[in-house]
Amino acid sequence: MAEGKSARRGRSRTSLLLGPGLHPGRIEMAMAASADGDERVYRVRLASGRHLTARLDGAVAPDFAEECLRGGRTVVLVDGPDGPRIAGALQVASAIEKDERGTLALEAKHLRVRADQSIVLEVPGGSLAFEPGGALRLEGDKLVIDMAALVRIFAARVELP
């Protein structure tokens, strides 16, 4: 049965922007949706070149949307009850995962890890911790230093038991 004009008039125009299916786009700008800035909305350019405003789907973390914005990653949009929703993003690189032996390998020309508080590497029997204030703590039963040429220790004071 055909829909009446009054029923069509009551429906939000934004809910009709995309149509059925998944729609690729790129986030171009993040904006605050309310005066308190709690919920953000995003300006998205669809693959067709058309621009629209979209909110995040409940499963999408705001930090992830910001990462997509910075990296120019393609996001996937769907129609939501109150207009277009960003439902996720396309994965364009392999995820970091363990191999069949349980080994996780990171390979890069340079690797940088940053933390606000500390970084701790642990294995059974030992740990290496980078703590606040610049302290480096190495704990375990044995310490082996195997250097081919030279070991230098620069410190104001060295204590050995």
Using one digit for the tens of pLDDT, what is the confidence trace for 19-39?
899 999 999 999 877 666 677
What mean pLDDT do residues 69-97 have? 89
CB 95, CB 85: distance < 8 Å? no
| 134: phi then psi, degrees, rounded to nearest 5 | 90, 5
Q: CA angle 106-103-132, nearest 5°?
A: 60
**What secondary structure, in 3-state letters, does 85-105 show?**
EEEEECCCCCCCCCCCCCCCC
**pLDDT tens-digit readout, 47-70:** 999 999 999 998 999 999 999 999
| 142: phi then psi, degrees, rounded to nearest 5 | -135, 155
Rounded to two decimals, what is the model's pTM?
Answer: 0.57
